[in-house]
Chain A
Amino acid sequence: MSAPPLEFHDLTVSYNQKPVLWNIDVAIPEGVIVGIIGPNGAGKSTLLKAAMGLLRLSSGWVRFWGEPLEARRRSVGFVPQREEVDWDFPITVEDLVLMGRYGHLGLLRRPGREDRRIAEAALEQVGMAAFRKRQIANLSGGQQQRIFLARALAQDSRLYLMDEPFAGVDATTEKTIVAILESMRSAGRTMLVVHHDLQTAREYFDYLLLLNRRLVAFGPTDKVYGEDLLGKTYGGHLTVLSRAAEAIRASKTGKP
């Protein structure tokens, strides 16, 4: 049995010495689309960022096909949230998508014809080829999300971590993204997607990861999507965790 594309073990992440994700233990199977569901502040984005090495772990580890991230970077793609980018940056659509190829090039190497072809194909796939020369500020939310997705496609990875790709996009874009995700799945890729909408979660994802600072449940959508588990995710009172987190923070920083 080969190692799963992504596995978390006892993952705890803290912010300002205060744990915000507690002891996450989960293995993601290959070739599926997984939705991460939970209320605001549940730590969904934190989980992705911790996996990508953007945040420090207080405990535990993350493995990609049994190995640490550095060994498998080429196979992992990350699509961050749109808001975190400076949209006034002087960069055109095609430049941005081409950035997805940088991971494949070493230092001092420039993108070649093959890289440009891949980028072009990615743009076609998301339906943004006509906008290739446009500066990114002059795009709608849905268009911006699409080019981010195109960048991820250009990376040609096997596993994708996506942070709220459906946030603030129009209906057409949403359908396009879903279609692309499904075609990626058919190609054998695995996707872990942070999502905010419960209703669509049921249609879009094969597996659901219910998260609210700790793992509530993980499994096939039809098994997990139920009133009790969802209630636990969204409504569960977490005073114990909050208080424990506070206690840890107070001890470590001395601020009462």
Chain B
Amino acid sequence: MSADDAGVAILTREFLSSLAGEGDAAGAIRSAVLGAVLASLACSVLGCFVTLRKMALYGDMLGHAVLPGVAAGFIVAGRKSTPALLLGALVAGLLAAGFTRLICTRSRIKNDAALGITLSVFYAIGVWLLSYLTGPSRPDLSSEASGLPLYLFGNPSVIHDADLAFLTTAALVVLLVVVGLFKEFQACAFDPSFAATIGIPKRWADTTLLLLLTFVIVVSIKILGVILVAALLVIPPATAYLLTERLRSMIICSAVLGATCGVLGAWLDYVFDGGVGPSIVCVAFAVLLTVFLFGTRHGVVATWVRHRRLALRTVRENILASAYRVRERTGAAADSIDLALLAQERGEEVRATRALARRLHGSPWARVSGDRLELTEEGQRRGCNIVRGHRLWELFLQREASLAVDHVHAGAEEVEHFLSDETIAELEHLLGRPRLDPHGQPIPAPIGSGDTSALEKDATTAGRDGERR
């Protein structure tokens, strides 16, 4: 059923009203939404540990591997009884986990390949059984078994109260275990060897996590489907990971995100009929991308903005430093430097220098005025400091790192922008208050200290090897 804008609004209203409404249809929708929320919640909380322990692909494997268990449960029970299917799935999941571990420990096959083998072979067995059960050789089962393939995609429309009960149990158990065993899970996830040394039974914690994982996956596949349940174990926790600094906050954030995506996914499915599981996953992923791009701390955009700011500051400081050097060389006035001289100092075309100098607009340090660069006192001080830091660093590299004189410049060019006043003072102290840098150039005293001796040197002492910086 496709929907246009008006249709979306209408359907949304229907959706919301049925959440509170009466009758079977509303009840079904409520069950579906509740099921979606519970499944997402359980997966998102447990998923925090799964992702932190780098077991994300393990969840994917388990999601696929439980399929033969579902089919086997059906065969044994003769019908689609939820407990039977769930038990079968649980057994299949545990067998798969054991099989993977066996492959890894007893052969040279690595973990990722072992997961892939288990995943595909178990899944194939499941599909094989399903093809038999829904195929022409068992017409007696065809109506009963026809619902089984939906376990692949998730089908919330057949959520019974029994399923909700299981989901609620799963969510509660997960929450209880996570809260109760929080410190054990945290220690094992963060620093397993330390955890082992303080006596936290790591094997035991691992097994509990695995059991919980299997249980949660098994009860969630009816809503989310076999393939997508693994997504809910990874995407909301990954989003929370980008947003938080502490494990406790990460779990809460992930739970909230998961539940929200559950509701939104159910709503989207109602309106657009794309399937509940896929809708939830797509919403969750959209949120992840948004946080990834725009998160204030770690987001790509924020990082890019920070880089740009840094680049701008570097350009500006280079101009100020060059201005200081011009003043040093020619004895020109400190607060007004000819752009042509500046260009000469930098070895550039005047036009290029002017363009760069213009970037000082909006800063409290200098601005271009006609053919000159007008510096404020702050700007002069800054330029002097940069040069000071540069030369001290060169001396430091030469003395402490035994770098050749013609090699120290490049390193200092980069570092000069990052030397704080304290570091410069420390450098000076360490080097014993030097007067000259490796090229023989004077190390300026900070402007305002009254010491202008550096500026009154002879212009001919500029660099024995012609290198002047």
Q: Which residues of chain A have a CB within 8 Å of any CB of chain B?
A: 49, 52-54, 70, 73, 76-78, 80, 84-86, 89-92, 95-96, 99-100, 102-103, 105, 107-108, 110-111, 135, 151, 155
Contact = CB atoms under 8 A, between A and B. Distances in A.
B389 to A, nearest CB: 20
Interface of B: 52, 180-184, 186-187, 189-191, 193-200, 241, 244-247, 249-250
Given A90-B250, A91-B190, A135-B246, 7 more contacts: A78-B194, A89-B190, A90-B247, A99-B191, A102-B187, A103-B198, A103-B200
Contacts of A155: 198
A84 B245 CA distance: 20
B177 to A, nearest CB: 10
B52 A89 contact: yes
A91 B196 contact: no
Contacts of A73: 197-199
Residue in B187, B245, B247 with the greatest tally of chain A CB atoms within 10 Å: B245
Contact of A110 (B183, B198, B247, B250): B183
Given A52-B197, A53-B196, A99 B187 contact: yes
10 contacts: A78-B197, A90-B52, A90-B241, A90-B247, A91-B186, A91-B246, A91-B247, A96-B190, A100-B198, A108-B181
A146 B190 CA distance: 17
A84 B52 contact: no
Nearest to A104: B198
Contacts of B194: 78, 80, 99, 151
Contacts of A103: 198-200
A136 B199 CA distance: 24
Contacts of A49: 193
Nearest to A109: B183
A40 to B, nearest CB: 20
Contacts of B244: 90
Nearest to B244: A90
Nearest to A95: B246
A53 B246 contact: no
A108 B246 CA distance: 20
Contact of B200 (A100, A102, A111): A102
Given A90-B245, A90-B249, A102 B197 contact: no
Contacts, number: 78
Contacts of B187: 99, 102
A91 B248 CA distance: 9
A86 B192 CA distance: 11
A100 B190 CA distance: 13
Contacts of A110: 182-183
A105 B191 CA distance: 17
Contacts of A91: 186, 190, 245-247
Contacts of B200: 102-103
Contact of B191 (A76, A85, A107): A85
A86 B246 contact: no
Interface of B is mostly: helix
Contacts of A92: 245-246
A151 to B, nearest CB: 8
Residue in B189, B199, B241 with the greatest tally of chain A CB atoms within 10 Å: B199
Residue in A85, A91, A155 with the greatest tally of chain B CB atoms within 10 Å: A91
Q: What are the 6 A-B residue pairs with the smallest beta carbon separation, nearest first?
A: A103-B198, A135-B245, A78-B197, A73-B199, A52-B197, A90-B250
A105 B190 contact: no
A54 B196 contact: yes
B306 to A, nearest CB: 14
Nearest to B240: A90
A89 B199 CA distance: 21
A105 B182 CA distance: 12
A111 B193 CA distance: 21
B191 A80 contact: yes
A84 B196 CA distance: 14
A110 B179 CA distance: 10
Contacts of B247: 89-91, 95
A3 B18 CA distance: 74
A111 B197 contact: no
Residue in B52, B181, B182, B197 with the greatest tally of chain A CB atoms within 10 Å: B197
B245 A85 contact: no
Contacts of B184: 102, 107
Contacts of A84: 191, 193
B73 to A, nearest CB: 33
A53 B195 CA distance: 12
A77 B187 CA distance: 15
Contacts of A85: 190-191
Contacts of B182: 110
A40 B193 CA distance: 22
Given A89-B190, A95-B247, A135-B245, A52 B181 contact: no
Contacts of A90: 52, 241, 244-247, 249-250
A52 B182 CA distance: 24
B189 A89 contact: yes
B190 A86 contact: yes
A78 B192 CA distance: 12
B54 to A, nearest CB: 9
Contacts of A53: 196-197
A55 B187 CA distance: 19
A54 B183 contact: no
Nearest to B200: A102
A47 to B, nearest CB: 14
Residue in A70, A89, A135 with the greatest tally of chain B CB atoms within 10 Å: A89
B193 A54 contact: yes
A158 to B, nearest CB: 14
B196 to A, nearest CB: 6
Contacts of A78: 193-194, 197
Contacts of B190: 85-86, 89, 91, 96, 99
A107 B247 CA distance: 19
